[in-house]
Amino acid sequence: MKIGSILSHKGEFVATISPDESVARLLELLSEHNIGAVVVTNDDDSVSGIVSERDVVRGGNDIGKKILKRPVSSIMTPVVATCTVDSQVEELMVTMTEERVRHIPVMDEESGRMVGIVSIGDVVRARIDHLEDEKKNLVNYITS
């Protein structure tokens, strides 16, 4: 199964934030959209990092409540694993496990633009749906 299939069901919305925005604004976005990570983009919409709830917790632990006034760039992960709409779900599962990431932006190969984001929950849901379909097909085959 390809990542494009996940995006066709999930949609292409991606919450983004500027690296200069405050961590307090980041928390507002996470809460507003009920999400776990936000992609950090520059003025030209290029991906410059990703920041998650986990980054906020670690920053808060290290710095304390002063973290809320700091820029997102101070806690973001600057090297971002990405995939394309043609990437296979199985490949993404390996990347997420090896890189220890839960959110991966989906990029258009031709334009280099971000066209969506996939979370570990999206991948697990897609894998479970695929396995359920296989099970139904096997049961139908056996009982036919």
Cα 115 to Cα 8, 9, 105, distances in angstroms: 11, 13, 8
Sheet holding 47-52, edge to edge: 16-17, 37-41, 47-52
Domains and CATH numbers, the chain: 3-143 (3.10.580.10)
Tens digit of each residue's pLDDT (9 = 90 or more) over 47-90: 999 999 999 999 888 888 899 999 999 999 999 999 999 999 99
Say which residues have a Cβ less than 8 Å from residue 93's Cβ, sequence separation at least 6: 123, 127
Phi, psi of 12, deg, nearest 5: -110, 10
Joined tokens for residue 16: 């983004």
pLDDT at 141 over 90: no
